[in-house]
Amino acid sequence: MSYGSINTWKLIEKEYKPEKALLYDSLFSLGNGYMGSRGFHPEENKESYEAMVFIAGVYDYIKAGITDFVNTPNIFYINLYIDGQLLNPFECNIIDYDRELDMKNGVLYRKLTVRDSKERDTVIEYSRFFSLKEKHLAVTRYKVTPLNYSGEITVLNGIDAASSNNPIPDDQLKSDSEVVSLFDVTSINHYKKNSVSIGFNTKGTNIHMSEALCVVSPEGGVEHDSISLAKIVGIKSTKKVLKGSSIELDTYSAIYTSRDGIADIEKASKEMIADASLRGYRRVLRDSEEEWSLKWDISSIDIKGDDLLEQGLRYNIFQLISSNSQHDGTVSIGARGLTHSRYKGCYFWDTEIFMLPFYIYTCPEAAKNLLMFRYNTLKAAEENARNQNLSGARYPWMCNTDGIEQCETWDIGFSEVHITADIAYAIENYYNITGDIEFYLDYGAEILIQTARYWASRFTYDLRNDLYNMLFVKGPNEYGGVTLNNTYTTLLALYNLELGKKAIEMLKSNRRSKWIDMKSEMGFEESEINLWNDIITKAKVNYDEAKNLYIEDDNFYKLEVLDISAYKKGEEPLYKTICFDRLQRYRVIKQADVILLMCLLPDKFSKLEMKAAWDEYESITLHDSSLSYGTHAQFAAWLDYKEEAYSYLMKSIRLDIDNIMNNTGKEGIHFAAAGASWQAFIFGICGIYIRDHTLLAKPCLPDHIKDVQFKLIYNDRKYEIKIDNSHKPLKTNISTVD
């Protein structure tokens, strides 16, 4: 659907600007959860680490114990030759250029008209997609039309095994000049004139990958030859093409890894491309399109009166779907999804706090598998706690599939402990919205109990004052230093203790024998609950009753006031101007902290407390993390601050499309911001909430939005929500659909 000049289902690039190439590489990223790639042009002369193709869960060591997200061989490599001469379209005069991401069906389409140094004009069309139906399959179509000449056209469709990684240090200011290759080629098999397969092994983690590729010309008349050229393995396809006619080639690539639990992955990849090529491009695309249309049926948000908002929201949703491995509980979603290896491709609290609600309400199975990932890494979290001389389970700040801490900076890795309570919060949230009691009892409860035990050991008892302190802790505000009694962490930890108690009661009444076994396996003593109760009643919480204000931490008012306007330039993070260490002693906030806590547990705070928090914190929050705008939008909407809500919402929703933080090209798509945007719109602007097991809405819609329509799944039922803002007072209708 298109309103005005924007096609809200598409992202369109009309002019090729080399300085914007990285930005569009990020924006045009595609994926199907199992694998994904950036939107680079197939013929571009990229650095070996820039043409990124990722497979969820494939990591390899870059140093002892520390991994990077492996940039796997580039399956989209193309060289174009005219009369035997290589033609790089980006070194020609580009006469016409059009690139479009169609979010409706997940296809990236490009049409180029170029004039080369011999004045030959050539049209080069290209499309690429990852099948949403067949997760191992990626397909491209390449069509070349000489406009003012006839000639012999050769296309090399290959797999570039020279791909490398350029690991980015955790310290955002350190340069990243190192280039490493993380896999070896183990086999090359030119088994047909139009088909090849290659085997790879990651060097340290020993993950085996098989990639097969075949090229088919739907119209025939093309000679194929399977070749290896240095590290490029592929198919050369040649045809004499008359002026005005074309050569058209479809490429089918299949990827399997030893993580798939299939005995013969080479056979599987060969069978996949043979089968797909028999069915043909259109049929394979139609199957994938059907999956996309099912996805959009439940997750599309239709908005009348604001195309920028509708397009931006769709883009965020498109990326959330593309980077989620819906059926796989052994992976989560990295901070940049499958669009970049920034943060070493690691999983953070970003998933549970910012992205998860989107999946809970639109695809509970995906949400469940994201939480299963935490269950599958519970043992690693227990070991982590033991290594820190603590009890229960302590989840790592950043990790890959094995759940082992990957954060290399002490102040964050050891102190930003709130992630453990964030995960417990997410389990309860999932259970409350889906009613999935089986998951809760079989998996969730154990996490809730082990994380509660962790918190009981993480608080420190102060004998003199008979209270419990949360010492040496960093809240979501990473500029807040390693501080004392961060309110966000303390209150979520206390909530986690409550959830641990509830989980025990639930197991006792629903799975008594499981609880008895679990108890003895964990060495759990019922008396531990006495300590939990003591902490719940005596933990130190910074609260100013006169002002109704929750204070961020013990040190907050000791910090020096900063004239932000003198230092902050636009949206650029302040750590680029003021060193991270110095920032810790200024009273500025990197990203939503107390305000986020209130968004997570709204029933625990009064309206007065929420207003007081906004007044105290909003003006000194720098939003130096992309996670912050969405939370502020949601909170502002709850406070009925319409203008602020809309302004924050747009920053969050268009963060990547408009490159607001100026790092989308270099770092990929911000997935937490995508999730926060969705929440800001649904829970903030549309005001969706649950009371007494009923889905309700209290919208705070800007006047220019006339009509909003979307669906949500709550408690196993699908609901359609319609908000009509064209008459005053606005009308909300929530009804069930089949």
For ligand BGC, the binding residues (CB under 6 A) are 335, 343, 348-350, 476, 478, 591, 625, 627, 672
φ/ψ of 259, rounded to 5, equals -70, -15
Token couple for 192:
């047909």
Q: Which is nearer to ligand BGC, 39 or 476 (CB)?
A: 476
Least Å distance, CB 52 to ligand BGC, is: 18
The residue (of 266 and 350) whose beta carbon lies closer to ligand BGC is 350
Q: Which is nearer to ligand BGC, 412 or 564 (CB)?
A: 412
Instruction: List residues with catalytic annotation.
Output: 478
CB of 170 to ligand BGC, least distance (A): 10
Q: Is 349 annotated as a binding residue?
A: yes
Beta strands in 560-666 (DSSP E): none
DSSP string, 27-54: HT-EE-SSEEE----TTS---TTTS-EE
Question: 25: helix, coil or strand?
Answer: helix
- Kindly tell me which of 130 and 358 has the beta carbon lying closer to ligand BGC: 358
3-state secondary structure of 201: strand
Sole residue written with tokens 């979603």: 333
Q: What share of the chain is helix, strand, coil (3-state, %, to 5)?
A: 35, 25, 35
Q: Minimum Å distance from CB 312 to ligand BGC?
A: 19
Please report how close the Cβ of residue 191 comes to ligand BGC at its closest, in angstroms. Answer: 43
CB of 207 to ligand BGC, least distance (A): 24
Least distance from C-beta 427 to ligand BGC, angstroms?
Answer: 19
- Please identify, using beta-carbon distances, which residue of 378 and 672 lies nearer to ligand BGC: 672
Question: 3-class DSSP state for residue 337?
Answer: coil
User: Which of 158, 141, 163 lies closest to 55 in space, CA to CA?
Assistant: 163
Question: 195-202 and 183-192 as β-strands: parallel, antiparallel, unpaired?
Answer: antiparallel
Residue found by looking up tokens 């007081």 in the block:
612
Q: Between 535 and 655, name the residue whose CB sits nearer to ligand BGC.
A: 655
Q: How far is the CB of 476 from ligand BGC (least distance, A)?
A: 6
Q: How far apart are CA 453 and CA 378, in angstroms?
A: 13
Coil vs helix vs strand at 415 = coil
Contact status, residue 571 vs residue 546, Cβ threshold 8 Å = no
How many other C-beta atoms can be found within 10 angstroms of the C-beta atom of residue 302?
14
Closest C-alpha to 38, from 693, 666, 678:
666
The least distance separating ligand BGC from the CB of residue 579, rounded to whole angstroms, comes to 16
Given a contact cutoff of 8 angstroms between Cβ atoms, the answer to whether 708 and 737 are in contact is no
- Nearer Cβ to ligand BGC (170/428): 170
Q: Which is nearer to ligand BGC, 409 or 457 (CB)?
A: 409
- Calculate the alpha carbon distances from 460 to 390, 612, 703 in Å: 12, 29, 51
DSSP tag of 91: G
d(CA 628, CA 616): 16
Give the helix ranges, DSSP H, for 523-587. 528-538, 564-567, 580-583
Rounded-to-integer distance, Cα 316 and Cα 232, Å: 34
Cα(67)–Cα(182) distance, rounded to whole angstroms? 10
Q: How far is the CB of 539 from ligand BGC (least distance, A)?
A: 23
Q: Of 343 and 373, which has the nearer Cβ to ligand BGC?
A: 343
Indicate the burial class of 253 (C-beta count within 10 angstroms; 0-12, 13-18, 19 or more).
Answer: buried
Torsions phi, psi for 151 (to 5 deg): -170, 175
642 annotated as belonging to a binding site for a ligand? no
Minimum separation from the CB atom of position 672 to ligand BGC (A): 5
**Dist. CA 21–CA 26, nearest whole Å:** 9
DSSP 436-495: -HHHIIIIIHHHHHHHHHHHHHHSEEETTTTEEE--SB--S-TTS-SBS--HHHHHHHHH
Backbone angles phi, psi at 135, to 5 degrees: -65, -15
Nearest CB to ligand BGC, comparing residues 56 and 114: 56
φ and ψ at residue 333, rounded to 5 degrees = -120, 125
Report d(CA 11, CA 301) in Å as an integer.
16
Q: How far is CA 100 from the centre of its chain?
A: 22
**Residues contributing to the annotated binding site:** 349-350, 590-591
Instruction: Return binding residues for substrate.
Output: 349-350, 590-591
